[in-house]
């Protein structure tokens, strides 16, 4: 929605105050306390260095720049002479105030003569990794086996890791700048000759049309360029795993990487992509398929378990098996609320716990688990606010919702159960059915970068629909999914086994 | 503009939902009196007496807190609303597990209940229907003292013991089907005031006509069920306790054949049975002895089957659905003329017995 509106007010690209002269640039910079100007050489008072102390790498400044400058000051008469004496490759000589200002904020040092302010040398000695974390374990997407390395909040490192994992001249990084104030770098990565250029074009166009002041994270960018921003479902996969990113690049998807964000955004994707996990590919296909089915079941269970509880206990007691009738009624006997209030109470409690657990410092988090899980759960049952059976169902469905590998999807599932609970309380089983119709209708309307969200299932793509539910063996994964319209379909050609029938040990 | 209209439509939808909610009657599971057993009787004036038992699960997890309801009306449909006047929560019929007919009521005809109550979709069809040898009221009163396990008791007897398999679905099929009569398990109250499953009762149309004895029930179930595990005893010598043969059913195949030009039925029975007890003088490892014991069993069973069929023919009931079997093989079948001919219908029995093993059986 955000990018669409731009169609009729495509105007300014910068809301920064317009600078006119070089003096104004320096005056503005001087307002900040970390802006420093030094005159390092006593004899020649005119030569000055200006930089933001917080941005430059002081080691380079001291050891390469100042040292060489001091030793060879005699040869310098013009700014352009500096090129001969300073061993820093990234050096530009310019007069453009705009360029100088931009370079200053990227960590450059400006060298000039005070008496002749017409030429300026820009030396980029910025320390981009200052303040960045060193470790890059995956924080939120764990896997038991497989690589554990993930992205960090630095675009240079992230791109480096991508290149390192995918040694191919076809891997293209396309850089754009988004955010009128933050000037955040966004890289569109794709594989030339595989990814359909339409996706790259669409992504580029959406990013270019974007008019925002700041981008804090890729997950925010994802919402700004999403096809339906009002949908609860995420329309792009956000991942911090490198193997997942490389894998999707190889399938012909586009990856967005933003500076200062530890998440990569993958698009176009379909609904079932959210239930697959890189670990699926490290386990045997049979086992991986089983766990993938468990995850899909977990999603359905987490969405519908409590609403079915409400519907059955409020309207359709006939479907309760007779041996279960006793325990259910007995556990509900002293509960003063109708099932819907009981369920909402417990569901909100669980969500409070989850939200508190996500905000609390790690050390208190442990305690919270005990307080929430045991004390609150036990106490509500003993205080007859909820029934024991419901407690089990709610706990199970909360557990099931965390099986979804992509966090954004699992939050969507968690949120969607509330409308279902309300519908079940209003119309019983019919209400759940009505809600399901709405969800299916909504899902089949969604698109991710122009590709239908439900794709191998609806519109049905023969041969790919089954792969949404299981993890096919590698022999059957030799082609790229046709619904991503890759330019080359073939990934590899499996060779048949060359072993003899009897095995290698036969006489 | 579009957005405002959308918002308005949403508001209208929510108002509609809110209003419609007022119309829905919630049936919250713990705010119901869920009937477990329903009994029907007739009193002297011809009024319906409905009796019902429902467990109070709110007091106990198992069904041992049982409440009793009794109401008299002249129409079956009025029973439930009248019963609700006695209870704090509405009476729900949809989880009825057993329907019990009093003996007198079953003999005068159960059509009223079947038409007015059992055909309503609210009542499940996989439930048990039974006739008591006493009145339903007495039966339910003695049932009240124990646990509400009547349905399980009847079912258990159907899978493991003598009774042929039966539920309301089969009952209704036999009731409305052409050329067959329904049969039901009978229950009785034993000396200890406990409910006992007491063999099979057979209806003619909607009236109870026959109450089979133990031997007949066994014979009936081998004719009706493919896999009955009923136990059957053949006494060879009244005086000697050891002189008995006990057999247990395992598998029964039957084939009916209608010979149209002779107007007779051929029944071929293929029985696969287990001998659980036999007198010591027979050594079943000896083929001659085996043949001998087989001969004895065969003779007995043949007689029993013949006797049972004759009994059916005499009383004019057709629980085996012989009329239906003939109808399926003869396009000129007509109900009235067939049942005129039925008492004298010749049925030839061809028995084939196989003993798969012998010894003790649980």
> What is the average pLDDT across A27-52?
82
- Ramachandran class of A485: left when φ > 0, alpha when ψ lies in -120 to 50, beta otherwise: left
Contact A52, A105 (CB under 8 A): yes
User: How many helical (H) and strand (E) elements, i.e. helices and strands, does chain B have?
Assistant: 11, 14
- pTM for the model stands at 0.85
Q: A161-216 pLDDT, tens per residue?
A: 999 999 889 999 999 999 888 889 999 999 999 999 999 999 999 999 988 988 88
Nearest-Cα residue of chain B relative to residue A340: B28
Nearest-CB residue to A332 (from B27, B30, B59): B30
Nearest to A330 among B34, B58, B151 (CB): B58
Q: Does the pLDDT of residue B305 top 50, yes or no?
A: yes
pLDDT tens, residue by residue, A412-468: 999 999 999 999 988 889 999 999 999 999 999 999 999 999 989 988 988 888 888
Tell me how far apart the alpha carbons of residues A131 and B101 are, in angstroms, rounded to a whole number: 86
Which residue from A326, A332, A427 is facing B24, i.e. has the nearest CB?
A427
Sign of the alpha-carbon torsion through B81, B85, B91, B97: negative
pLDDT for residue B22? 63
Residues of B in contact with A388 (CB under 8 A): none
Continuous segment of H or E residues that includes residue B79: helix B79-84
Facing residue for B26 by CB, picked from A314, A327, A330: A314
Name, in order, each residue with C-beta under 8 angstroms of A462's C-beta and a sequence gap of 6 or more. none
Task: Name the token pair of A331.
Answer: 């556990």
Q: Write the pLDDT tens digit of every residue in A387-398.
A: 889 989 998 999
Residue range A376-391: mean pLDDT, rounded = 85
Pairing mode of beta strands A116-124, A108-113: antiparallel
Question: Taking an 8 Å Cβ-Cβ cutoff, which residues of chain B contact chain A?
Answer: 17, 20-21, 24, 26-30, 32, 34, 55, 57-63, 92, 94-95, 97, 124, 151
Mark yes or no for CB contact B57/A318 under 8 Å: no
Q: How much is the pLDDT for A506?
A: 66
CA distance A373 to chain B (A): 26
The Cα of B32 is separated from the nearest Cα of chain A by a number of Å equal to 10
Q: Does residue A377 or residue B173 have the better pLDDT?
A: B173
Is there a contact between A431 and A424 (Cβ–Cβ < 8 Å)? yes
Whether A435 contacts chain B with CB within 8 A: no
CB-CB neighbors (< 8 A) of B97 in chain A: 322
Could you tell me the pLDDT band of residue B27, with boundaries at 50, 70 and 90?
A: confident
Question: Domain-by-domain residue ranges, chain A?
Answer: 15-124, 134-269, 284-451
Q: What value of ipTM does the predicted structure carry?
A: 0.83
Residue A250 is predicted with a pLDDT of 93
Alpha-carbon span B350 to A41, nearest angstrom: 127
Which H or E element spans position A70? helix A67-71
Considering only CA atoms, which of B280, B278, B276, B270 is closest in space to residue B296? B278
């Amino acid at each position: 929605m955000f990018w669409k509106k731009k169609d009729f007010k495509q105007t300014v690209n910068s809301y920064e105050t317009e600078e006119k002269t070089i003096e104004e640039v320096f005056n503005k910079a001087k307002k900040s306390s970390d802006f420093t100007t030094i005159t390092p050489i006593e004899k020649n008072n005119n030569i000055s260095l200006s930089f933001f102390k917080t941005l430059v790498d002081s080691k380079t400044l001291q050891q390469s720049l100042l040292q060489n400058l001091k030793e060879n000051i005699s040869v310098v008469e013009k700014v352009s002479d500096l090129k001969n004496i300073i061993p820093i490759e990234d050096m530009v000589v310019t007069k453009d105030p705009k360029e100088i200002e931009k370079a200053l904020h990227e960590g450059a040092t400006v060298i000039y003569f005070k008496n002749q302010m017409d030429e300026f040398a820009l030396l980029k000695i910025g320390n981009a990794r200052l303040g960045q974390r060193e470790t890059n374990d995956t924080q939120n997407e764990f896997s038991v086996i497989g690589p554990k390395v993930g992205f960090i909040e630095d675009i240079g490192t992230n791109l480096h890791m991508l290149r390192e994992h995918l040694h191919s001249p076809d891997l293209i990084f396309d850089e754009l700048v988004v955010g009128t104030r933050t000037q955040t770098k966004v890289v569109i990565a794709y594989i030339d000759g595989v990814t359909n250029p339409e996706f790259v074009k669409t992504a580029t166009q959406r990013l270019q049309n974007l008019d925002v002041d700041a981008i804090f994270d890729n997950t925010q960018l994802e919402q700004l360029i999403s096809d339906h921003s009002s949908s609860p479902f995420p329309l792009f996969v956000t991942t911090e795993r490198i193997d997942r990113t490389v894998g999707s690049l190889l399938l012909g998807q586009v990856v967005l990487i933003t500076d200062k964000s530890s998440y990569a955004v993958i698009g176009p994707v379909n609904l079932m992509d959210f239930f697959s996990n890189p670990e699926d590919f490290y386990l045997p296909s049979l086992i991986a398929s089983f766990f993938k089915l468990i995850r899909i079941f977990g999603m359905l269970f987490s969405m519908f378990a409590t609403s079915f509880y409400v519907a059955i206990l409020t309207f359709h007691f006939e479907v309760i098996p007779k041996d279960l009738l006793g325990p259910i009624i007995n556990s509900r006997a002293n509960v003063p609320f109708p099932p819907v209030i009981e369920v909402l109470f417990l569901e909100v409690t669980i969500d409070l716990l989850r939200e508190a657990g996500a905000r609390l410092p790690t050390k208190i988090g442990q305690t919270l688990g005990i307080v929430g899980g045991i004390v609150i759960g036990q106490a509500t049952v003993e205080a007859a606010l909820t029934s024991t059976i419901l407690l089990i169902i709610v706990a199970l469905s909360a557990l099931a919702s965390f099986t979804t590998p992509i966090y954004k999807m699992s939050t969507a599932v968690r949120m969607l159960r509330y409308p279902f609970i309300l519908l079940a309380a209003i119309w019983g089983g019919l209400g759940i059915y009505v809600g399901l119709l709405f969800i299916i209708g909504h899902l089949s309307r969604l698109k991710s970068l122009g590709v239908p969200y439900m794709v191998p299932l609806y519109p049905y793509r023969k041969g790919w629909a089954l792969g949404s539910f299981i993890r096919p063996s590698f022999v059957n994964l030799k082609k790229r999914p046709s619904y991503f319209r890759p330019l080359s379909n073939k990934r590899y050609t499996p060779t048949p086994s060359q072993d003899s029938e009897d095995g290698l040990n036969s006489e | 503009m579009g957005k405002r209209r959308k918002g308005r439509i949403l508001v209208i939808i929510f108002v509609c939902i809110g209003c419609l909610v007022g119309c829905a009657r919630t049936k919250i599971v713990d705010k119901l009196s869920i009937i477990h057993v329903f009994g029907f009787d007739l009193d002297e004036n011809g009024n319906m007496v409905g009796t019902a038992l429902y467990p109070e699960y709110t007091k106990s997890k198992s069904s041992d807190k049982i409440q009793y309801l009794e109401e008299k009306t002249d129409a079956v449909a009025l029973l439930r609303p009248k019963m609700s006047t006695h209870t704090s929560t509405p009476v729900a019929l949809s989880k009825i597990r057993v329907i019990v007919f009093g003996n007198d009521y079953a003999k005068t005809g159960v059509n009223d209940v079947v038409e007015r109550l059992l055909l309503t979709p609210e009542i499940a069809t996989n439930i048990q229907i039974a006739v008591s040898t006493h009145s339903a009221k007495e039966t339910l009163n003695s049932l009240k003292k124990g646990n509400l396990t009547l349905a399980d008791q009847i079912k258990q007897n159907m899978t493991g013991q003598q009774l042929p398999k039966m539920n309301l679905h089969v009952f209704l099929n036999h009731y409305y089907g052409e050329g067959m009569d329904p049969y039901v398990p009978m229950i009785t109250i034993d000396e200890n005031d406990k409910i006992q499953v007491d063999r099979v009762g057979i209806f003619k149309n909607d009236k109870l006509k026959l109450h089979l004895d133990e031997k007949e029930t066994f014979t009936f179930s081998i004719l009706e069920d493919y896999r009955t595990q009923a136990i059957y005893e053949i006494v060879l010598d009244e005086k000697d306790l050891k002189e008995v043969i006990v057999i247990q059913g395992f598998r029964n195949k039957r084939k009916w054949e209608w010979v149209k030009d002779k107007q007779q039925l051929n029944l071929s029975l293929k029985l696969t049975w287990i001998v659980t007890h036999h007198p010591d003088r027979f050594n079943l490892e000896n083929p001659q002895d085996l043949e001998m014991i087989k001969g004895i069993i065969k003779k007995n069973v043949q007689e029993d089957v013949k006797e049972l069929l004759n009994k059916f023919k005499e009383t004019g009931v057709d629980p085996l659905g012989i009329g239906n079997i003939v109808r399926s093989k003869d396009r000129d079948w007509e109900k009235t003329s067939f049942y005129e001919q039925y008492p004298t219908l010749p049925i030839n029995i061809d028995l084939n017995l196989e003993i798969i093993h012998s010894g003790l059986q649980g």
